[in-house]
A and B are shown apart, each in its own frame.
Chain A
Amino acid sequence: MLIVENLRKVYRVHKKEAGLKGSIKSLFVRKWIDKEAVKGISFSIEPGEIVGLIGANGAGKTTLAKMLSGIIHPTSGQATILGHTPWHRDNAYRKDMTLLMGQKASLWWDLPAMDSYLLLKDIYQINNEDFNKRLEHMSTALDVKDQLNIQVRRLSLGERMKVELIAALLHAPKIIFLDEPTIGLDLTSQKAIRDFLHDYKKQHKPIIILTSHYMQDIEDLCKRIIILKEGEIVYDGSIEHIKQYVSQEKVIHVQFESSWKQDELDTFLAGAPTGICDITQTSLSELQIRLEKKELTSVMNFILSHGKILDLKIGGIDISEVIENIQREGISE
């Protein structure tokens, strides 16, 4: 069980004016500003749950992950994870926890991954049998068996990410923070990592908090998502709930043969049937229309009666668009 109450983190950073003049000034006087990265958030997570943490750059995802993994101290607030306070960093907690940061290497750069694994085996006191079994299983599943004896710095990005993932999970942690685990990977590697995490979840029933910019990762792995905006939670709920929006709406892109003048567009808008949520003119002759799915026929008829059509595309809404929208405007219940 993971419980977070009113967690808050303020960074104090100094502001420097650009240029040499600013640098010289800052030698004598420093302007400090407080940057509130996480603004008193609360939530809880049950074991066996994978929660997707979503937010724009600087929304506070990484800060949250760092506090919950104990790397940094919060400014105020509480967190209890399996009975431990993360930033007290007792060994019992650290043995049960892992944090994988996609942009940061944790393996020793100049050594083959295998050397690092052997050290981790001793750090986490993993017995031989478990170690061999897990390593065999993971390196087969992620297809990196041949890469384990090559210096980490000579591996490709995808291979490196996979050997990092193995390092993070060798001790079979119960609490897992994954910060962009598929960043910069090709689709095949992304899928391999997702499948692997699915499998891990089934086997170990851990608490997983996953941040990713790839919606595919979140959709595939998480039932629940938390959306952060400027350090605050703007949505905490099931991904299904958000998908309902997606399934209820359609988007039509239509390109007419002739361009539209403003008054023609106004007439068109005035006469439009109900069920249209939003119309944008993407170019002089093109429209993008978002509408309720059940009104598709009437809207299509209306469009066809308004001029000769060159091209027409009907599609669903991308879930990432909806989430982007929530991040911008909040959610309407």
Chain B
Amino acid sequence: MNSPFPSWMISAFKMEWRNILSYRIDFWINFVGITIIQFLVAYFLWTSIFSTSGVTEIKGMSFPMLMLYYILAPLTLRATSGLIMGFMFNDIYSGGLNKYLLYPLSYINFKLVTQYARTLFYLLQILLVFILFTLFFPIPAQVELSLLNSILFLLTIIVGGYLYFMLASIFEMISFWADNIWSLMVMLRIIISIFGGLMIPLHFFPTWAQQVLNLLPFRYLISFPIRTFLGQLSTSEIALGFSVMIFWAIILTGAVQIMWKKGNRQYSGIGI
């Protein structure tokens, strides 16, 4: 049995799954909590907006469509962001990084593998929630589901997850130089939530803002995968999106490598 990946990647992947499953309560609270609370907030807010303004559509989105978007948005961000905030910071700050530096493997690759283990897990959650949604509500008329869109969705999650990982790593690695960078990481989260499309769908923004956001990495973590999945984007939009993603993947990978090298020289391993 020959696999294209080194065998440690597969066992690290499996181990991360065991890690997730060893916290059952956390798993259910996150799953039920995030999905239901975010959904209810959006539901009540948009119900009143729709009823007071008396429209049936806002910027081409019907009420059921908007609700489907709001169910998928937090789950999609969870799938692309995978690891919890502080995944490198904690290792660097507490000296937990030491053990990874001893192993004959790359720490960043190791973390990336654990990130994708979580991504797969959250993808299964998305599938489950989507099926539940279709049991209770009709699929909105604007949605065009297809096998191709689903495959493209998987690809956007994989590349988007990579972008998130590299972007977050850059912030997390600042802890090589500064003791506490929690506020910086929270800031990154907020930026992603606003400019990625978690708070409101991005096509509610003015056109010029959308054009700028198309070129930044944030929307590829939330809005772009969802709209690809629901069949809301044209072929040329998807092609452009993928080009921008690959551009950012290259830039961010380079930045991470430089920071890792410099940070390593700085690292003191905690304690004398």
- A residues whose Cβ falls under 8 Å from a Cβ of B: 11, 35, 37, 58, 60, 62-63, 66, 69-73, 89, 91-92, 94-95, 97-99, 101, 104, 106, 108, 110-111, 115-116, 118-119, 121-125, 151
Shortest beta-carbon distance from A223 to chain B in Å: 27
Instruction: Give the CA-CA distance A111 to B222 in the complex, in Å.
Output: 32
30 A-B pairs, CB-CB below 8 angstroms?
A: A11-B268, A35-B272, A62-B271, A63-B272, A66-B98, A66-B269, A69-B102, A70-B101, A71-B101, A71-B102, A71-B267, A71-B269, A72-B268, A73-B264, A89-B101, A91-B104, A94-B102, A94-B103, A99-B98, A99-B102, A104-B95, A106-B99, A106-B102, A108-B19, A110-B22, A110-B23, A115-B15, A119-B12, A121-B11, A123-B104
Shortest beta-carbon distance from A83 to chain B in Å: 16
- Could you tell me if A72 and B272 are in contact, using CB atoms closer than 8 angstroms? no
Within 8 Å of chain A (Cβ to Cβ): is B105?
A: yes
Q: Nearest residue in A to B6 (C-beta to C-beta)?
A: A122
Which residues of chain A have C-beta atoms less than 8 A from B10's C-beta?
122
- Could you tell me if A95 and B98 are in contact, using CB atoms closer than 8 angstroms? no
Instruction: Give the CA-CA distance A139 to B98 in the complex, in Å.
Output: 25
- Could you tell me if A111 and B18 are in contact, using CB atoms closer than 8 angstroms? yes
Which residues of chain A have C-beta atoms less than 8 A from B272's C-beta?
11, 35, 37, 58, 60, 62-63
Instruction: Give the CA-CA distance A125 to B8 in the complex, in Å.
Output: 8
- Could you tell me if B269 and A123 are in contact, using CB atoms closer than 8 angstroms? no
Shortest beta-carbon distance from B117 to chain A in Å: 12
Which residues of chain B have C-beta atoms less than 8 A from A124's C-beta?
103-104
Question: Given A63-B272, A110-B19 in contact, is the A73-B265 Cβ separation under 8 Å?
Answer: yes
- B residues whose Cβ falls under 8 Å from a Cβ of A: 6-8, 10-12, 15, 18-19, 22-23, 95, 98-99, 101-105, 264-265, 267-269, 271-272
Which residues of chain B have C-beta atoms less than 8 A from A91's C-beta?
104-105
Shortest beta-carbon distance from A24 to chain B in Å: 16
Question: Given A11-B268, A62-B271, A122-B10 in contact, is the A98-B102 Cβ separation under 8 Å?
Answer: yes
Which residues of chain A have C-beta atoms less than 8 A from B98's C-beta?
66, 71, 99, 101, 104, 106
- Could you tell me if B7 and A122 are in contact, using CB atoms closer than 8 angstroms? yes
Shortest beta-carbon distance from A148 to chain B in Å: 15
**Lowest 4 CB-CB distances: which A-B pairs, in order?**
A91-B104, A94-B104, A122-B8, A106-B99
Which residues of chain B have C-beta atoms less than 8 A from A97's C-beta?
102
Question: Given A11-B272, A60-B272, A62-B272 in contact, is the A119-B8 Cβ separation under 8 Å?
Answer: yes
Shortest beta-carbon distance from B60 to chain A in Å: 46
Instruction: Give the CA-CA distance A14 to B95 in the complex, in Å.
Output: 18
Q: By CB atoms of chain B within 10 A, which of A66, A97, A115, A118 has the most? A: A66
Instruction: Give the CA-CA distance A84 to B103 in the complex, in Å.
Output: 15
Which residues of chain B have C-beta atoms less than 8 A from A151's C-beta?
22
Which residues of chain B have C-beta atoms less than 8 A from A119's C-beta?
8, 11-12, 15
Shortest beta-carbon distance from A305 to chain B in Å: 53
Shortest beta-carbon distance from A32 to chain B in Å: 13
Which residues of chain B have C-beta atoms less than 8 A from A118's C-beta?
11, 15
Which residues of chain A have C-beta atoms less than 8 A from B264's C-beta?
73
- Could you tell me if B15 and A70 are in contact, using CB atoms closer than 8 angstroms? no
- Could you tell me if B267 and A72 are in contact, using CB atoms closer than 8 angstroms? yes
Which residues of chain A have C-beta atoms less than 8 A from B267's C-beta?
71-72
Shortest beta-carbon distance from A256 to chain B in Å: 46
Which residues of chain B have C-beta atoms less than 8 A from A94's C-beta?
102-104
Which residues of chain B have C-beta atoms less than 8 A from A11's C-beta?
268, 272
- Could you tell me if A123 and B8 are in contact, using CB atoms closer than 8 angstroms? yes
- Could you tell me if B8 and A115 are in contact, using CB atoms closer than 8 angstroms? no
Shortest beta-carbon distance from B21 to chain A in Å: 10
Shortest beta-carbon distance from A77 to chain B in Å: 15
Q: Nearest residue in A to B12 (C-beta to C-beta)?
A: A119
Question: Given A66-B269, A122-B10, A123-B8 in contact, is the A108-B15 Cβ separation under 8 Å?
Answer: yes
Which residues of chain A have C-beta atoms less than 8 A from B105's C-beta?
91, 123
Shortest beta-carbon distance from B1 to chain A in Å: 14
Which residues of chain A have C-beta atoms less than 8 A from B8's C-beta?
119, 122-123
Which residues of chain A have C-beta atoms less than 8 A from B101's C-beta?
70-71, 89
Shortest beta-carbon distance from B226 to chain A in Å: 32
Which residues of chain A have C-beta atoms less than 8 A from B6's C-beta?
122
Instruction: Give the CA-CA distance A94 to B102 in the complex, in Å.
Output: 6
Q: Nearest residue in A to B110 (C-beta to C-beta)?
A: A123
Which residues of chain A have C-beta atoms less than 8 A from B271's C-beta?
62
Instruction: Give the CA-CA distance A124 to B99 in the complex, in Å.
Output: 13
- Could you tell me if A70 and B18 are in contact, using CB atoms closer than 8 angstroms? no
Shortest beta-carbon distance from B20 to chain A in Å: 10
Instruction: Give the CA-CA distance A118 to B267 in the complex, in Å.
Output: 29
Q: Nearest residue in B to A177 (C-beta to C-beta)?
A: B102
Which residues of chain A have C-beta atoms less than 8 A from B11's C-beta?
118-119, 121-122
Q: Nearest residue in A to B23 (C-beta to C-beta)?
A: A110
Which residues of chain A have C-beta atoms less than 8 A from B22's C-beta?
110-111, 151
Instruction: Give the CA-CA distance A71 to B265 in the complex, in Å.
Output: 10
Shortest beta-carbon distance from B84 to chain A in Å: 14
Given A11-B268, A95-B104, A123-B105, 4 more A-B residue pairs with CB atoms under 8 Å apart are A60-B272, A108-B15, A118-B11, A118-B15
